[in-house]
Structures are given as C-alpha cells and as structure tokens.
Structure 1
Amino acid sequence: MTSASPSRPLTIRNVRPWGGPAVDLAVADGVISAITAVDAGDAAGRDDVLEGRGRLALPTFTDAHCHLDSNRVGLPLRPHTGGPGVWTMMLNDRAHWREAEVGITERVTNLLGRQIAHGTTTVRSFAQVDTDAGLERLEAVLAARETHRDRAEVQVVAFPQAGLLREEGSAQVLEDALRAGADVVGGIDPCTLDRDPVRHLDIVFGLAEKFGRPVDIHLHEPGDLGLFSADLIIERTLALGLQGQVLISHGYALFDDPTRVDGLLERLAEADIALASVAPGGRSRLPVDQLTAAGVRVGLGQDGQRDYWSPYGNGDMLDRTWQLAFTLGYRADALIEHAVAVATRGGRSIVDPQVTRLRAVDDRPGLAVGDAADLLLLPGETVTSAVMDRPDDRTVLRAGRVVADRLQLV
C-alpha cells in the first residue's frame, strides 16, 4: 500500500464536522492537530488557510469493494451482453475486456482519478488474475496505484474470478500475483464455482499463511450453501488465528433467514470477519446497522462500474451511499448518516484493522484531534441533505493536502 507525502500546516476555516457547529480545523503532519472556534479574521491571500465556507466536513470515502480493472467509465455505453450466473458473466467479460477503446491501464488510472476527485481516498480494488489475463490486469491496477500514490491509498486483491480448480494453472497465477505485489488473497464461491470448498479454501488460506496476507472472499452462493461456506470460512479464520484479517464480500444469502441472523452475527464478531456490501437491490442486502451493533466491521463499495457485467456505477461513492440508504429503506437522518459512516470510516477499518471501528449506529468518527486529515468538504444543510443532493462543490484532502476540487484532480 502507498502512503501520502507529508503536508505543510494548514487551517481549514469554517467547516461543520458531521454537520455540527462551525469550527476551524488545524492540520499538521497529515493529521487533525486542533479544533478551535472559527477565526473571523481576514485571511485573504494566505496559502496556509483553506476557506471551508461553512461546508460540511466528513471523512473521505473508502471504496471497500471495487474492480478497477473491470470498468468502461468514460467510454461509450455498450449493449449489455452478459448472461446468468458468475461463470457465464466471467466468460462474457473475458471475451470483451481487451476490445475497449482505450487500454486497460488508462481505464483503471482514469477511474481511480475520478473516484478521488469525487471524494474517495482509500480503495480496496480487485484485480482479476486467471489463465486468460495472467497478471496483465493486476499490473494495470498497480500502475494506477503508483500514478495516484499521493492522492489515495490503494489495497490490491489478487482475485481468481474464474475460480481456482476449473482451469489448470489458476492457483499458480494467484500465487504469482502475490509475488508481484498484490496485498490480499482473493477467493470466490468455494461451493458453486469450484464445487470443492475444502480444496478451494486450502489454497486461499494456505497462500494467506505463506505470504502473511489478508483474505477477501466473494460469496454469491444462495441459501444453505452460502451459510455452509461462511461456516467453513469462520472455522478456518479461528483455527489459523486470522481474526481481523478476513472479509466476506457480498454475502448475499447470509441474512435471508432472520432466525439465523443472531447466531451468525455472534460468530462473525468472534472471528472478527468483516463484510462489504455494494448496496444491491432485492432481498440480497447486508443489514449494516445490525452488523455495526454486533461489532462486525462493514464497508461499502461500488463493485465493477459500467463494465461487461453491468451498466451501473460511476466512480462516485456519495452516489453509492445514497443507493445503500435507499435499498435499506433508511429515512431517518440517523440511519442515513450511519450509511455515510459505513461508507467512510467503516470501510477504512477494513483496509486498516487498526482504525477504530464503528461500534454503534450513532458513531460519527474520523474528525477528532489525531485523526488522519483525509477530509471531504461539501455543501449541505445536513449530512442527509448532502446524500440526497450529491453536490459538485467538493474539496478533497488527503493527509492534509488538497488533491481535488470541484470534481477535478489538483
């Protein structure tokens, strides 16, 4: 992962953290060093003062689940050609991803820049590694990370989208990706895709042990099959002492049966296994409020964006936060603000387990003295109004340095 360059001292004048009273934020060495009353003095021409203009101050977003290598953002919209099921969709992507109007590295770099410009400074991105792409897609994500290294922290998951057992050589490509610089070991649907959960998880957790890396497993599996895979993941996490190092992405079937939720929440919390949602519609929704209350880390992501899987997604995590609140039926301000907390510090605690996790639905962290000065300033009467309106007047700071303004990189 990358770290931002040190920033010079800065005062961010007249902002409202989480929509509260207006204050000045002092920033030094990349962190918030003081919070004081608003200084009404004339600061015209001073380059150590950033005028907040009474805007909201929020922690920047964390995209906890995206596929930067799977996007056509900024390119002409093409007809959707995917079919049902993960394998069929994967084959459709495989047939077309090289045909885009611009190369993969340019697409990835442009989308990451767009995400930063809209307020995201922490990203966990998957990079597809398989017998078709080899390490080409991983190399594109690593190159984009290097381009934007002072603007964002990017954690890269080596992701075996085609499984590990269906095509000879897949497990070796996954290991090669870890040697080439991937930060996290990926896995996917141990039962429905590879049809051998023990062998699949042997490979994933074996590589995690060998390289000392975290684990992130896509779990699209339905009903009892999904719960069975989750049980196996929990068991291995506890047996190997990997608490805090494992995440289940999607987990579509885990919360369909309310009678099983309590026991599952307790087991996830015991193993400190995090979850990431992309705010899908229908029944497949992660109850982020229940997860937070149970002590389970949960984050939000955008998945693939305007790609060969789906025409949805635009690089704007504020837009995806609106989608999370909408799909969960949130109307109360406290719940909509919680959706923002999940999309910012919730996801951040996944990328960096040392970051204080959300413990309650009313937690509003990230803007206290000592917190990283990764800040998003944007207009709004309240946090809820900003989610509803999704304004363009945004200023993005990474480690106390302005990296984007009005949706343009600086």
Structure 2
Amino acid sequence: MTVVKNVRLFPRTADAPAVDVEISEGRISGISPASDTAPDHSEDGPRSNGIGAEVVEGAGRVLLPSLGDVHAHLDSNRMGQTFRPHTSDGTLHGLIMDDRENWRHGERSVAAQAAFAVGTIIASGGTRIRSHAQVDSDCGLERFRGVKEALDAHADVLDFQIVAFPQAGIVREQGVRELLDAALSEGADLVGGLDPLLYDRDPVSHLDTVFDLAERHGKGVDIHLHETGTAGVFSLEEIAARTKALAMSGQVTVSHAFALHTSPDAQVRRVLDLLSEAGVSLTTVAPQNGVLPQSVIAEKHIALGLGEDGQRDHWSPYGDGDLLRRAWQLAFTNGFRRDEDIEHCLDIASRGGAQIMAGARPDGSPLTEDERFGLAVGAPADFILLEADTVTSAIMDCPRDRDVFRSGRLIASGGELLGGLRLG
C-alpha cells in the first residue's frame, strides 16, 4: 500500500482541507483527513508509516486527476527539433500536401520523434494518448508503424490507442482502403476518416468504407470533421445513423465537429440528440474558431475529450505537449471566467478523455465522486501533484514542476519522464 500524505484533493478554495490518500493495487483505496502522524524512516527502503506502507509526502500540494491527449498526431510533431517556418498555403489540401512533402525531412525517425512527444506529454501529466497515424499512398504503413513502436515502448506508463488515419482521403487515392485494412490487422485500435463530403466528395463511399472496416475488424472509428454548417450537419447525421445501425455505441468519435459551432442552436441540439442516442463521442483541440457547446454536450451525456492535435508540426507552430496548458486554452477560447466553468475544462481534459477511450459516457456525477474515471475511492490512482491554490489557479498558472503518478507509481517529475524510456 502507498499513502500520499497531506494533499488537497481537487480544491476549489485556497483553504480546502488536506487529506491523506491511500492506494492499493493501483487504485485509490481510501481518503481520510490528513494525519499528523510522522512516518517512520528506514535506512534501506522507502518511507514507512509503521504498517508497511510506502509514504509519499504531498506537502500540501494540489492533487489533480491525470490528463489525456485524445487527439494527437505523433507522426507529425516536430517538438525539440530546429524551428521550421510554416510553408503551407493555408487550405486543407495545401496543409495535407505540405505535410506529405516534408515529413521525411525531420531530424529524428518517426518512432524517435513520436517517443519524444510521448515523454513530453507524460511529463506534463498525461497518462493516456489516442494518436492518429497517417496511412496513405505516400507513406504506406511507415508512419503508423513508427507511432506504434513509440507507444509500445511506453506501455507500462501509458494507456494508448492508435487510429489508422487516411489524412489524404480514402476515395481520392488508390489503395488506401487496403492500407487501412492492413493497419487494423497490425494493431490499430480505430479506423479514421476525414471530411467525407467536402474532401473526398463521396460521403457514402467514404463512410461505408470506414464503418465496414471497423465492423469487420471489431474496431472503433474516429473521424476528423472540419466540415461546417449544412455539410457538417449532413456528415454528423450519417455518422450517427451508421453508428446506431451497427450497434457501435461508445466506439465512434467525431473529432473537431465544427458544424456544432457554425449551425443554428435548434439544429445543433437536434444533431446532439442524434449523437447522444447513437452513443457517439466528441473531441476538441480548443481551436480559436471552433468552440463546442460544452454545456449542452454535458447535458446530453455525450463524452467530450481534449487533445492538442499537432505539436509544432507542418500544419501549425502551436502546441508544446503540455496538456495542462491546453486545458487553459480550452477555457480561454471559450471566454470562461467562472471557476466552475474552468474546472469543467480540466474535467474534459482528464475524465472526458478516459471515458472516450473506455467507450463510456458521462453520468453527470462530480469528478470527486466518480469511482471509475474520477478521484473517488475505487478510481485508478492516476494523478498529478503540483503547487497551486485551487484547481482554477493550477490551470491559469500551469506550474511546470509536477509529479505524475500512474497506478500509484511516480512516472515523471520536474518535466522529465523517469526511467529513460524515450527513444533516441
């Protein structure tokens, strides 16, 4: 057993009382008022409280749930490399082709660069990642295999999923269906898609391919949907219909879903009802021009998670692997000021991503009372310790000195992943 002493659990006020958190078999097994009992000290082993428990000194720090990047592109990031000026023309096709022309010119292999990003994400407090990995006629399975190698190397400190992602389309390029099929056979957890109407210009064939592959392999679906307005509404309706017809509740995610930001309120509510009924989840990357209706999504009990998308890649110079900073961005782009709204952004960054990866949906319970994905007794002991006054101040200040725990074990501290797991 481990005892994390004298921590303030998800505090909403600066004077919130401290508690001791007991951990057994990787889960929170008890929460009690902080004890003044000093731990015994052993010359040869970890600190003990006299009954064989290892003691972690919380020193009054804030305990927050660990975070998750559930929309990453580990095969595209350029973090830690020499800065490269942006060269795309700004169109979706231009961004895709600029990435295609330049991804081989990095300073590290795909696996090594993905591993660098994984280490950075974990050190920021992330214990789960869902990464898209590009599969197309240019790269074949090279980028998918590099991402898989990096994630597999961190399997003991990270929960992860890989999406076989046809970023250059399915219909407009030959052989992509076969490549997606091969990636799913090699271990991809989900099959992706991208703008079936406006990019591939054949929504029926595109979505039929995605859902047929998912059904045949028994895998999930995660579709990028940049389509706005009527086009995006149409695609969301088609995705919901296929999800419901194939009884894939909890297995389908729509990333971005910009139509929910660019359509009339009545239409947005109608579409969210369809997604809720079908069991479709959503992810956002907190963009400036794509704020999702978070309160309505929560009202409909739709799982919503947060990701960084790319990190200093060929698409954009933004993103640094810090998931707490991305929670700040989610609050900022929404224009939130009230603590409860800002706290909800951290809930999305933590519990929301965990629910998506588990195929679950929110039940409206407070995070501190959720024994499956939150911080209640019974929940996984995946958490961050940092210096802050409250949850909101932690998000606003983003202190870099964080201790990150997975299953009750310290895996990162002071901005560094422990154990030397990064690939060179």
Fold match by TM threshold 0.5: yes
Describe the superposition over 1:179-205 as per-residue Cα deviations: whole angstroms up to 9, x where unpaired.
111011111110111111000011000
Matches within 5 A, 1:232-243: 232-243=238-249
1:159 and 2:165 correspond: yes
Q: What is the distance in 2 between the residues matched to 1:328 and 1:233?
A: 26
Describe the SS at the equivalent of 2:39: coil
Contact 2:232 2:259 in 1 (8 A): yes
Q: What is the distance in 2 between the residues matched to 1:403 and 1:373?
A: 12
Opposite residue 7 of structure 2, the aligned amino acid is: V
What residue number does 1:191 align with? Answer: 197
1:144 and 2:150 correspond: yes
Q: What is the distance in 1 between the residues matched to 2:330 and 2:40?
A: 40
Q: What is the distance in 1 between the residues matched to 2:256 and 2:364?
A: 21
What residue number does 2:417 align with? Answer: 409
Describe the superposition over 1:220-250 as per-residue Cα deviations: whole angstroms up to 9, x where unpaired.
1121011001111011111111111111000
Go from structure 1 to structure 2 and tell me whether the alpha carbon gap of 1:358 and 1:387 turns closer, same or farther (over 3 Å shift). Answer: farther
1:31 and 2:27 correspond: yes
What residue number does 2:379 align with? Answer: 371
Opposite residue 197 of structure 1, the aligned amino acid is: P
Describe the superposition over 1:29-75 as per-residue Cα deviations: whole angstroms up to 9, x where unpaired.
11001112212222264431111111111110011111111100011
What residue number does 1:224 align with? Answer: 230
Q: 2:279 aligns with which of 272, 275, 278?
A: 272
The root-mean-square deviation of aligned C-alpha atoms, in Å, is 1.3
What residue number does 1:303 align with? Answer: 309
Opposite residue 288 of structure 2, the aligned amino acid is: G
What residue number does 1:93 align with? Answer: 99
What residue number does 1:399 align with? Answer: 407
Q: What is the distance in 2 between the residues matched to 1:140 and 1:249?
A: 23
Contact 2:61 2:387 in 1 (8 A): yes
Q: What is the distance in 2 between the residues matched to 1:85 and 1:358?
A: 39
Following superposition, the deviation at residue 358 of structure 1 comes to 5.3
1:383 and 2:383 correspond: no
What residue number does 2:81 align with? Answer: 75
Q: What is the distance in 1 between the residues matched to 2:295 and 2:185?
A: 37
Q: What is the distance in 1 between the residues matched to 2:89 and 2:254?
A: 24
What residue number does 1:56 align with? Answer: 62
Q: What is the distance in 1 between the residues matched to 2:346 and 2:40?
A: 33
Percent identity, please: 46
Matches within 5 A, 1:289-368: 289-354=295-360, 357=362, 359=364, 363-364=367-368, 365=370, 366-368=374-376
Q: What is the distance in 1 between the residues matched to 2:295 and 2:113?
A: 35
Contact 1:192 1:221 in 2 (8 A): yes
Q: Which moved more, 1:380-389 or 1:85-94?
A: 85-94
For these two proteins, the number of residue pairs brought into alignment is 399
Q: 2:110 aligns with which of 104, 107, 114?
A: 104
1:15 and 2:21 correspond: no
Contact 1:216 1:247 in 2 (8 A): yes
Contact 1:127 1:156 in 2 (8 A): yes
Go from structure 1 to structure 2 and tell me whether the alpha carbon gap of 1:186 and 1:409 turns closer, same or farther (over 3 Å shift). Answer: same
Q: What is the distance in 1 between the residues matched to 2:335 and 2:388?
A: 21
Scaled by the length of structure 1, what TM-score is found?
0.95
Contact 2:404 2:413 in 1 (8 A): yes
1:170 and 2:176 correspond: yes
Q: What is the distance in 1 between the residues matched to 2:248 and 2:410?
A: 36
Following superposition, the deviation at residue 253 of structure 1 comes to 1.8
Following superposition, the deviation at residue 104 of structure 1 comes to 1.4
Q: What is the distance in 2 between the residues matched to 1:209 and 1:239?
A: 11
Following superposition, the deviation at residue 359 of structure 1 comes to 1.9
What residue number does 2:131 align with? Answer: 125
Contact 2:260 2:293 in 1 (8 A): no
What residue number does 2:38 align with? Answer: 42
Describe the SS at the equivalent of 2:58: strand
- Unaligned segments of structure 2, at least 5 residues: 48-53, 419-424
Q: What is the distance in 1 between the residues matched to 2:255 and 2:182?
A: 23
Describe the superposition over 1:296-316 as per-residue Cα deviations: whole angstroms up to 9, x where unpaired.
110100001100000000000
Go from structure 1 to structure 2 and tell me whether the alpha carbon gap of 1:406 and 1:196 turns closer, same or farther (over 3 Å shift). Answer: same
Contact 1:330 1:336 in 2 (8 A): yes
Scaled by the length of structure 2, what TM-score is found?
0.92
Describe the SS at the equivalent of 2:172: coil
Contact 1:287 1:328 in 2 (8 A): no
What residue number does 2:51 align with? Answer: none
Contact 1:302 1:313 in 2 (8 A): yes
Describe the SS at the equivalent of 2:259: coil
Q: What is the distance in 1 between the residues matched to 2:166 and 2:380?
A: 33
Contact 1:346 1:358 in 2 (8 A): no
